[in-house]
Structure 1
Amino acid sequence: MSAQTEEVAAGPAPRIGKGGAPPPRPRKRLADGVPYLLILPAAAVTVLLLGWTLVKNGLLSFQNLNPRQLIQHVTEWSGVDNYSEQLGSSEFWGVTARSVVFTAANVALIMVLGCLIGLLLARLGTKLRLMLSLSLVLAWAMPVVAATTVFQWLFDQRFGVVNYLLDTLGWHAMAGYSWTGGQFSTFFVITVLIVWQSVPFVAINLYAATTTIPKELYEAASLDGAGPWKRFTSVTYPFLKPFFLATTFLEVIWIFKAFTQVFAINEGGPDRLTETLPVYAFQEGVGSQHFGMGAAISILTIVILLALTAHYLRLVLKQEEDEL
């Protein structure tokens, strides 16, 4: 048999990959599409419940929708009049500035107190840690409306526990003090309520994150003579920096769009001085029955929140690039 005949009978030589290893098999197209199929149900539900609602709200913001239009089933398109009126209103920008300051103050308090309690959890014994964790979970799990009702009773002018305790301690001027009668006192009650509800999330998650830090790092820092503050800045904070950034980001979103606590305490009063953007949109839309205007304010609220979020993420990315 000739050499050519033997080569044909043997068939083509097997392909050999780089380094003598067999070549990689091509992936199946079906396997490549599996991740997309898995997230498809969640994405469909999100688009159905949130996307469509946002689209309808956006369309409503370009309409002049009052009780007359609702009764007559008439659609009156007003273009960008609702947006122009709000963007040219000093009241809108005053509420926006108030919302930003309110969010910054609450997030700062939540992060500081949450981190302190989380670090305390890491240093407590098993029994004390369990008791404190249980208390935090119970505070976190309490429904917002129920918690707001309790705080309304605590700070009640005539029968509130806070006024009674202050009067008992000798501060007799607080015996009949109205906590919802002024702007700053009302914001104080709302801030205490929101911080009390939000701190458990930060504290528990921070404690869980500290369990991932190798103990050898703390031992090495102690051998170098580092105190508690130095150990936090040189070991804990650098290791948990992604947690701090992500948690701060979430808290900014949650506090900025807080509605129930602000509205339930005093409905944005007194004299609408404690309205934040979500409450302002509700009052202008439902309270004044100018639903198109309320929809426009809600869209502007989303845009402002996206702008704040983009600015925050840009600062985070810039800081990470500088460290690299």
Structure 2
Amino acid sequence: MSLTSRARLRAGAALPYLLLLPALLATAALLVWPLVKNALLSLQNLNMRQLIQHLTEWNGVENYTETLGSEQFWRVTARSIAFTAANVALIMVLGTLVGLLLARLGRRMRLTLSVGLILAWAMPVIAATTVFQWLFAARFGVVNSLLDTLGWHAMADYNWTGGQLSTLFVVTLLLVWQSIPFVAFNLYAATTTIPAELYEAARLDGAGAVKLFTTVTYPFLRPFLLATTFLEVIWIFKSFAQLFAINEGGPERLTETLPVYAFVEGVGNQHYGMGAAISVLTILVLLGLTSYYLRLTLKQEEEQP
């Protein structure tokens, strides 16, 4: 083989990496460097005094040891995991049902429902949160007014953000409402890949609706369900704007999840090094939660023929 041919082969082998280089540089600038900077901040004693005087006071892993030794951190971590699990379960069940409904509707009804889902999905987070604050307002709120009209007069002036469970209920409704369109469209797109002949064969064998779903629909949807669940775990776990805008983690910090907790400790209490350490621990917890789903997804891909 001539030198020219070898040079062309090497250039051809390097071309994919050269094409990926701009994306890798952008990722490094927008993601990797902020993570590195945040990790460095987590090793510092950085409060308002150090920030104003431009002082760098390294304190090693003191922020981590103090955080891990805090009972509040473990309470918030447990709450974050339970909150994520409940929301993801609701989103996946309801989103799957809506996706299957889209597959069964006629063209006009499917278009109507799709437009409604897109509008809910496209609404900015803060705008949607403001709408829910208005719906669940203690005075002049639509929900309280409706409940009062239906006979639950004790709910006429009920403060939905005055208690832990009621606040989390409102935030859960908001997150589920925002997340269902993504799951529904993913699952509807997946159903279009299922051959109609499989349904016809199953019906000839006497399969009903439940049997059709378990033997035909679910095996095809399983990779999409795993991948979508993986994405939803990330989306719900890192959700910040909804919880903070509804009640800033209140009442009495009883609805804080890890992202809100990191913000309150870091920015609210001006313990920036502590907030950075909590955010690093939050990433580690999220990686632990998503690793299982990622392994399942990769295993599913390997099993595909």
**Alignment TM-score, normalising by the size of structure 2:** 0.95
Match of 1:293 in 2: 274
Q: Does 1:202 align with 2:183?
A: yes
2:46 corresponds to 1:70: no
Report if aligned partners of 2:76, 2:258 keep a CA contact under 8 Å in 1. yes
Q: Which amino acid aligns with 2:232?
A: E
Residues 142-157 of structure 1: pairs in structure 2 closer than 5 A: 142-157=123-138
Alignment deviations for residues 15-38 of structure 1 (CA, whole Å, 9 cap, x no partner)? xxxxxxxxxx97711111121111
Amino acid at match of 1:239: F
1:270 aligns with 2:262: no
Identity %: 75
Q: Which residue among 129, 133, 141 is the counterpart of 2:114?
A: 133
Offset at residue 204 of structure 1 (A): 1.0
TM-score (norm 1): 0.89
TM-superposed deviation, 1:314: 3.7
1:87 aligns with 2:68: yes
Task: Map Cα deviations across residues 33-53 of structure 1 (whole Å, 9 max, x no partner).
Answer: 121111111111010011111
Partner of 1:161: 142
1:311 positional shift: 2.8
**Pairwise CA RMSD:** 1.7
Aligned pair 1:51/2:58, yes or no? no
| Superposition deviation, residue 321 in structure 1 | 8.4
**Aligned equivalent of 1:13:** none
Q: Is the 8 A contact 2:223 2:297 kept in 1?
A: no
**Secondary structure in 1 aligned to 2:46?**
coil
Structure 1 residues not aligned, in runs of 5+: 1-24
Residues 1:191 and 2:172 aligned together: yes
Listed one character per residue, the Cα deviations across residues 196-222 of structure 1 (whole Å, up to 9, x for unaligned) are 000000001111111111000111111
Q: Deviations over 1:92-144 (max 9, x none)?
A: 00000000000000000000000000000000011000000000000000000
Deviation at 1:322, TM superposition (A): 9.7
Q: Which residue of 2 aligns with 1:233?
A: 214
Which of 182, 195, 210 is the aligned partner of 1:214? 195
Which letter does structure 2 place at the counterpart of 1:135? Answer: G
285, 294, 298: which one pairs with 1:313? 294
Report the 3-state secondary structure (helix = DSSP H, G, I; strand = E; otherwise coil) of the residue aligned with 1:181: coil
- 2: CA distance, partners of 1:225 / 1:253: 41
Q: Which moved more, 1:212-221 or 1:70-79?
A: 70-79
Please report how far the alpha carbon of residue 323 of structure 1 lies from its aligned counterpart in structure 2 after TM superposition.
Answer: 11
Instruction: For residue 251 of structure 2, give the secondary structure of its aligned residue in structure 1.
Output: coil
For these two proteins, the number of residue pairs brought into alignment is 300
Structure-2 change in CA distance of 1:28 and 1:321 (3 Å):
closer
Letter in 2 for 1:119: L
Once residues 175 and 164 of structure 2 are traced to their aligned partners in structure 1, the CA distance between those partners, rounded to angstroms, is 16
Unpaired segments ≥5 residues, structure 2: none
Moved over 6 A (4+): 318-324
Secondary structure of residue in 2 paired with 1:289? coil
Q: CA deviation at 1:229?
A: 1.3
Report what 2:105 is aligned to.
Answer: 124
Which residue of structure 2 aligns with residue 5 of structure 1? none
Report the Cα distance in structure 1 between the residues aligned to 2:303 and 2:225, rounded to whole angstroms: 18
